[in-house]
Amino acid sequence: METGAKLNVDRLNVFYGDNHAIIDASMKMPQYRVTALIGPSGCGKSTFIRCLNRMNDVIEECRVDGAVYLDGVDIYAKDTDVVQLRKRVGMVFQKPNPFPKSIYENIAYGPQVHGMKKGKELDEIVEMSLRQAALWEEVKDRLDDSAMGLSGGQQQRLCIARCLAINPEVVLMDEPCSALDPIATAKIEDLIDQLKKEYTVVIVTHNMQQAARVSDYTGYFYLGKLIEFGNTKQIFENPREESTENYITGRFG
Contacts with other proteins, 149-168, as mask; x by CB under 8 A: ----------x--xx--x--
Work out whether 20 is an interface residue with other proteins (CB under 8 A).
Answer: no
Instruction: Give the interface size with other proteins as a residue count (CB under 8 A).
Output: 35
Site string for other proteins, 212-231 (x = CB under 8 A): --------------------
Give me the residues paired with residue 217 across strands: 35, 231
Per DSSP, 11 falls in state E
Q: Alpha helices of 6-151 — where are they, by DSSP H? A: 45-51, 82-88, 103-113, 120-132, 136-139
Taking Cα atoms as reference points, which of 193, 220, 96 lies closest to residue 147?
96
Q: How far is the CB of 57 from other proteins (least distance, A)?
A: 8
Strand partners, 65: 13
Cβ closer to other proteins: 5 or 158? 158
Q: Does residue number 28 form part of the binding site for other proteins (CB under 8 A)?
A: no
CA dist 51 and 68 (Å) reads: 8
Q: Which residues contact 33 (CB under 8 A, 6 or more apart)?
A: 3, 196, 200, 201, 216, 217
From edge to edge, which strands make up the β-sheet containing 73-74?
73-74, 62-70, 5-16, 19-30, 225-231, 217-222, 34-38, 200-204, 170-174, 89-92
Instruction: Name the residue among 81, 80, 132 with its Cα closest to residue 107.
Output: 132
Q: Which of 13, 31, 80, 146 binds other proteins (CB under 8 A)?
A: 146
61 lies in the site for other proteins, by CB under 8 A = yes
Least distance in angstroms from the C-beta of 171 to other proteins: 10
Q: Name the one range near other proteins by CB under 8 A: 51-59, 119-127, 132-140, 180-188.
A: 51-59
Site string for other proteins, 72-91 (x = CB under 8 A): ---------x-xxxxxx-xx
Closest CA to 166 of 195, 139, 129: 129
Residue 234, interface with other proteins (CB under 8 A)? no
Is residue 117 part of the contact set for other proteins (CB under 8 A)?
Answer: no
Q: Where on the chain is the footprint of other proteins (CB under 8 A)?
A: 16-17, 53, 55, 58-61, 81, 83-88, 90-91, 93, 95, 97-101, 109-110, 112-114, 146, 148, 159, 162-163, 166
